Amino acid sequence: MKVLVAFGTKYGSTVKVADAIATEMRDAGHEVDVVDLRERIPVEMDRYDLVVVGSPVFIGKWTKPSQEFLRRNAQALAERRVAMFVCCSDILFEEKVEAARRMYLDDVATSYGLAPMAMGMFGGEVDFNKYGMFTRFLLSKVGAREALEERGMEVSRPYDFHDWGHIRNWARELA
C-alpha cells in the first residue's frame, strides 16, 4: 500500500507525530511519503491508497497549510481511504476532550465532505519559551496559560504530552 502522511505544524511537535506514524506504516511493509504542508509541494493524490492528514490545533484551528490541503484536495480525498489526526492540548483536560474531538476532527472532516476511516487526537508539546510575545498573549487570552497553572504546571518549562504508545498503536491499526 502507498501511504501519504501530510501534516501542518507550528512549532515542530506535529512533525514528530507524523514521523512516528510513518515509521509504523513502513514497519508494516508500506511505502510512505511524508509531506510538510508548509512547503506547499504539489501532491499527486492518485498515487496513494491511504492519506493521513494531521495538524496541531492552534488557537482553536488547524494550521492554514493543513486547511488549504484539505480544501484543495477534498474531492480526491473523498475518493480514497483517509485518516485524520490532531495534536491538541485539550486532550489534557477530560472535560474538554469530547468537544475538542467533535470540533477539531468530526466537524473538520464534515466541512470538507470526508468520512475518515480513523481519527486520532493526541497530545503535543507546550513550551511558552518558544512562543513569541503575540502568541503568548493569544494563549493567555484563551486561558491556556491559566489552565496549565491551575493544574500545577510551571509555564516557564517545556512539557511533552505525547503518548507515544497510543500514537504508535493508532498508526498500527491503520496499517
Any idea what the CATH number is for the domain that residue 62 is in?
3.40.50.360
Q: Is residue 28 part of a domain?
A: yes
Q: Is 143 left (phi over 0), alpha (psi -120 to 50) or beta?
A: left
Question: How many structural domains comprise the chain?
Answer: 1
Integer angstrom CA distances of residue 131 from 66, 116, 126, 150: 20, 32, 9, 20
Q: Is residue 133 part of a domain?
A: no
The confidence band for 76, taking pLDDT boundaries of 50, 70 and 90, is: very high
Distance CA(149)–CA(95), nearest Å, equals: 17
Q: Which residues contact 58 (CB under 8 A, 6 or more apart)?
A: 10
Rg from Cα positions in the chain:
16
More reliable by pLDDT, 155 or 31: 31
For residues 122-149, average pLDDT? 73
For residues 109-134, average pLDDT? 88
Q: Is residue 13 part of a domain?
A: yes
Q: Report pLDDT for 45.
A: 94
For residues 67-80, average pLDDT? 97
Q: Is residue 169 part of a domain?
A: yes
For residues 8-12, average pLDDT? 90
Q: Is the pLDDT of residue 118 over 70?
A: yes
Query: Average model confidence (pLDDT) for the chain?
Result: 90
Strand partners, 135: none
Give yes or no for a contact between 53 and 87, defined as CB atoms under 8 angstroms apart. no
State the sign of the Cα–Cα–Cα–Cα dihedral 46, 47, 52, 54. negative
Q: Is residue 12 part of a domain?
A: yes
Which residues constitute the domain of residue 92? 2-124+162-174
Q: Report pLDDT for 140.
A: 67
The confidence band for 143, taking pLDDT boundaries of 50, 70 and 90, is: low
Count of CB atoms within 10 A of residue 31's CB? 13
Q: Report pLDDT for 60.
A: 86
Distance CA(14)–CA(123), nearest Å, equals: 10
For residues 98-118, average pLDDT? 97
Give yes or no for a contact between 31 and 79, defined as CB atoms under 8 angstroms apart. no
Distance CA(127)–CA(70), nearest Å, equals: 28
- Which of 125, 126, 123 lies closest to 163, judged by CA? 123
Rounded to two decimals, the pTM is: 0.89
Q: Is the pLDDT of residue 41 over 90?
A: no
C-alpha torsion 84→153→148→88, nearest 10: 0
Q: Is residue 131 part of a domain?
A: no
